[in-house]
Chains A and B, each alone.
Chain A
Amino acid sequence: MNAPEELLKITDLRVHFPVRGGIFRRAVGSCKAVDRVSLVLQKGQTLGLVGESGCGKSTLAKSVVKLVEPTSGSIKFKNQEIAGKKAQNNFRKNVQMVFQDPAESLNSRMTVGAILEEPLDIHHIVEKNVRSERVAELLEQVGLSRSAANRYPFEFSGGQRQRIGIARALALQPELLVLDEPVSALDVSVQSQVLNLLMDLQSKLGLTYLLIAHDLAVVKHVSDIIAVMYLGKIVEIGPAEEIYLKPAHAYTKALISAIPIPDPTKKRKRVIIPGDVPSPINPPSGCAFGHRVGSSLYPESVGKKLDMEEVSTGHFVLQCPCCT
């Protein structure tokens, strides 16, 4: 096997949700939450997924941990198909998820110890008598004290709760962590603590991350590869530095220029995108972004099948007449 190991490979993934209407609640249309998405994640890398709300980031993440069943396409984890009903479920302990709001994703009636023991119990991987030892180990790994095991989630601050969420995800020693907006609910000073912890754990344990965030500065800081999503499609994917320095798609350019820069001496010309993300239920027939900005070249993209093209090594851009 060649050196960089493909841990996760998504090919042509579609996740469509039926839209029901009429008195019989029949499917009258579909919401194309994720539409023909392909990506590859190497072992030990971090892939940052950015995009506006409603672009399908979270749906993509959920289909990777199999909380959502894809409509078509394949998701391979270590060359094993995990999409579809026949797929084996033994990949689950290797893929764990950290959720956005730690206050809502921890059971408030369970002690932290019980929360961390539950995955060990379900997957029978640690003997009962040494479980508490493993829990203590996990807590120390995320920078909490051993005594935290006997306390309840409400006794902790937001940042500490997110550490518990991370500890729970690490309990089964997974290889891939899906991080869905792990720091967006946290304060700035705590956010950097959690980001440092995540980067630290990655280098110690050789973890692979699929990171979803809307804060582009955060994504840029921790990712190797960045994928930009717009209306269910990846419009651009490539090495993090390159995406920032040489964005090729008009949407990526606009997204980057919209980030407020914490430096009052830098006055930039902002590209303001008019309008909102169109509805994925009834998307424009051509390039969705060209439609939003009212590009004069938009009619050219109508009816065309838009494909990804490699502009430089590992840097793919969705080719469309109005945006690239």
Chain B
Amino acid sequence: METDILLDIKGLSVSFETDEGRVQALDSVDFQVGLGQTLGLVGESGCGKSVTALSIMRLLPKPVGKITSGRIHFQGKDLLELSADGMRQVRGNEIGMIFQEPMNALNPVRTIGDQLSEVFLLHQEIGVKEAWFKSVEMLHDVGIPASDSRAFEYPHQLSGGMRQRVVIAMALACRPKLVIADEPTTALDVTVQAQILELLQTLQKQLGSSVLLITHDLGVIAETCDEVCVMYAGRIVERASTVELFANPRHAYTRGLLSSIPRLDRIPKTELSTIDGMVPGLSDLNQGCRFAPRSGKVHPQALLDQRSPLQEVTEGHWVESCPLCSNL
């Protein structure tokens, strides 16, 4: 069903200029986000989750970060071909973004009502008064009590959870088709995390938006996403519906991740299973199977030199087809 796809990313590669030369942060990433769907991107630090989000928004740090190949189709148009002006029309209007650390995403010297109005003033042809009125309404929608007086407050006057609500209000102000949430709850306490996730889900239902949720927390994924992409060292190694992925993880990395998290129902004080070694640095990546050094299996040179393509094992369940790291 081609028509139901909102965001279609094909062969996206991104590289960064560093002191050690060019490093590849994303290597030919493909995925689609369906209309109204929540897609989770999960992986450890440095695997390219955030770079993916920034590439979609075309916010990669210039001039070090560069999209070297691929295309990002959003509602039929290629975002990479838009002019800077055209892209500005998309950002905040059609695609909203929620950042990890709400304190850094807000301007400390302007009131929250002021910052929120800016979104309306930029994207809708309305006056300052009406924009303010809409901002107050939006703050109310994200559950900020006494929003008409709160709109006059500065970010430092709000708690972490409230600040994240403001950031969500800004991202959703123009009722975007797609919301990119980059670790929206990582900086928050569990109880506030539960509030924020609930809020996101309610608003998503109301607006019918699609969400691209980036997180390292598999618990959050399990509770909110329809489909999951597991990323490792700049690549997607496995993609499946959430239920399928948790029930039948095929890639050794996914299995390792799932079994290494401490769970409430696990027998306490027993040894946790681990993934040996550590996440590889981006400067010393091979072209073939990147999980090889941690898989505990000796890979023949051919598998280290040549990337195994993603293969669909059961319907909708894709896995990088390295014969040693995945159950095909």
- Residues of A in contact with B (beta carbons under 8 Å apart): 52-53, 157, 159-160, 187-193, 195-196, 199-200, 214-218, 220-223, 240-241, 244, 254-265, 270, 272-274, 276-277
Main secondary structure of the interface of B (DSSP, over half): helix
Bound complex: CA of A214 vs CA of B266, how far in Å? Answer: 18
Asked whether, in the complex, the Cβ of A261 is within 8 Å of the Cβ of B264, the reply is yes
Contact of A188 among B246, B260, B266 (CB under 8 A): B260
Chain B residues with Cβ below 8 Å from A223 are: 268
Asked whether, in the complex, the Cβ of A255 is within 8 Å of the Cβ of B242, the reply is no
Interface residues of B in 232-261 (CB under 8 A from A): 242-243, 246-247, 256-258, 260-261
Chain B residues with Cβ below 8 Å from A189 are: 44, 256-257, 260, 274-275, 278-279
Given contacts A52-B190, A200-B271, 15 further A-B pairs with CB under 8 A are A52-B191, A187-B45, A188-B44, A189-B278, A192-B273, A196-B271, A196-B272, A217-B262, A244-B264, A257-B194, A258-B193, A260-B223, A261-B223, A262-B258, A264-B222
Bound complex: CA of A240 vs CA of B243, how far in Å? Answer: 30
- Shortest beta-carbon contacts, A-B, top 3: A260-B219, A221-B262, A192-B260
Asked whether, in the complex, the Cβ of A240 is within 8 Å of the Cβ of B223, the reply is no
Asked whether, in the complex, the Cβ of A276 is within 8 Å of the Cβ of B223, the reply is no
Chain B residues with Cβ below 8 Å from A190 are: 44, 278-279
Give min CB distance, A118 to chain B, whole Å. 26
Contact of B222 among A159, A188, A261 (CB under 8 A): A261
Asked whether, in the complex, the Cβ of A262 is within 8 Å of the Cβ of B222, the reply is yes
Decide if B54 is an interface residue (CB 8 Å cutoff). Answer: no
Bound complex: CA of A220 vs CA of B260, how far in Å? Answer: 15
Give min CB distance, B99 to chain A, whole Å. 19
Decide if B141 is an interface residue (CB 8 Å cutoff). Answer: no
Among residues of B, the one whose C-beta sits closest to the C-beta of A222 is B269
Asked whether, in the complex, the Cβ of A188 is within 8 Å of the Cβ of B268, the reply is no
Chain A residues with Cβ below 8 Å from B217 are: 260
Asked whether, in the complex, the Cβ of A216 is within 8 Å of the Cβ of B192, the reply is no
Given known pairs A188-B216, A195-B272, the reply for A276 and B162 (CB within 8 Å) is yes
Contact of A262 among B160, B162, B219 (CB under 8 A): B219
Asked whether, in the complex, the Cβ of A192 is within 8 Å of the Cβ of B272, the reply is yes
Question: Which of A218, A222, A259, A265 counts the most chain B CB atoms within 10 A?
Answer: A259
Give min CB distance, B57 to chain A, whole Å. 25
Given known pairs A187-B279, A259-B219, the reply for A220 and B194 (CB within 8 Å) is no
Question: Which of B220, B272, B279 counts the most chain A CB atoms within 10 A?
Answer: B272
Given known pairs A193-B274, A218-B262, A276-B159, the reply for A258 and B191 (CB within 8 Å) is yes
Asked whether, in the complex, the Cβ of A53 is within 8 Å of the Cβ of B262, the reply is no
Give min CB distance, B227 to chain A, whole Å. 11
Chain B residues with Cβ below 8 Å from A193 are: 274
Contact of B262 among A187, A220, A264, A272 (CB under 8 A): A220
Decide if B195 is an interface residue (CB 8 Å cutoff). Answer: yes
Given known pairs A187-B45, A189-B257, A216-B190, the reply for A262 and B262 (CB within 8 Å) is no
Interface residues of B in 20-67 (CB under 8 A from A): 44-45
Given known pairs A193-B274, A240-B268, A255-B191, the reply for A217 and B246 (CB within 8 Å) is no
Chain A residues with Cβ below 8 Å from B197 are: 260
Selected A-B contacts with CB under 8 Å, 25 pairs: A160-B278, A189-B274, A189-B279, A192-B260, A195-B272, A196-B272, A214-B189, A216-B190, A217-B264, A218-B262, A220-B264, A221-B262, A221-B268, A244-B264, A258-B193, A259-B219, A260-B194, A260-B197, A261-B223, A262-B246, A264-B243, A265-B247, A272-B198, A274-B195, A277-B189
Chain B residues with Cβ below 8 Å from A222 are: 262, 268-269
Chain A residues with Cβ below 8 Å from B324 are: none
Asked whether, in the complex, the Cβ of B268 is within 8 Å of the Cβ of A220, the reply is yes
Asked whether, in the complex, the Cβ of B268 is within 8 Å of the Cβ of A241, the reply is yes
Among residues of B, the one whose C-beta sits closest to the C-beta of A271 is B194
Among residues of A, the one whose C-beta sits closest to the C-beta of B199 is A272
Decide if B70 is an interface residue (CB 8 Å cutoff). Answer: no
Bound complex: CA of A173 vs CA of B286, how far in Å? Answer: 43
Given known pairs A187-B45, A262-B258, the reply for A254 and B191 (CB within 8 Å) is yes
Asked whether, in the complex, the Cβ of A262 is within 8 Å of the Cβ of B274, the reply is no
Interface residues of B in 157-216 (CB under 8 A from A): 159-162, 189-195, 197-198, 216
Give min CB distance, A80 to chain B, whole Å. 29
Chain B residues with Cβ below 8 Å from A199 are: 269, 271
Bound complex: CA of A223 vs CA of B223, how far in Å? Answer: 26
Bound complex: CA of A310 vs CA of B44, how far in Å? Answer: 42
Chain B residues with Cβ below 8 Å from A214 are: 189-190
Decide if B263 is an interface residue (CB 8 Å cutoff). Answer: yes
Asked whether, in the complex, the Cβ of B274 is within 8 Å of the Cβ of A255, the reply is no
Among residues of B, the one whose C-beta sits closest to the C-beta of A265 is B243
Question: Which of B44, B243, B247, B278 counts the most chain A CB atoms within 10 A?
Answer: B278
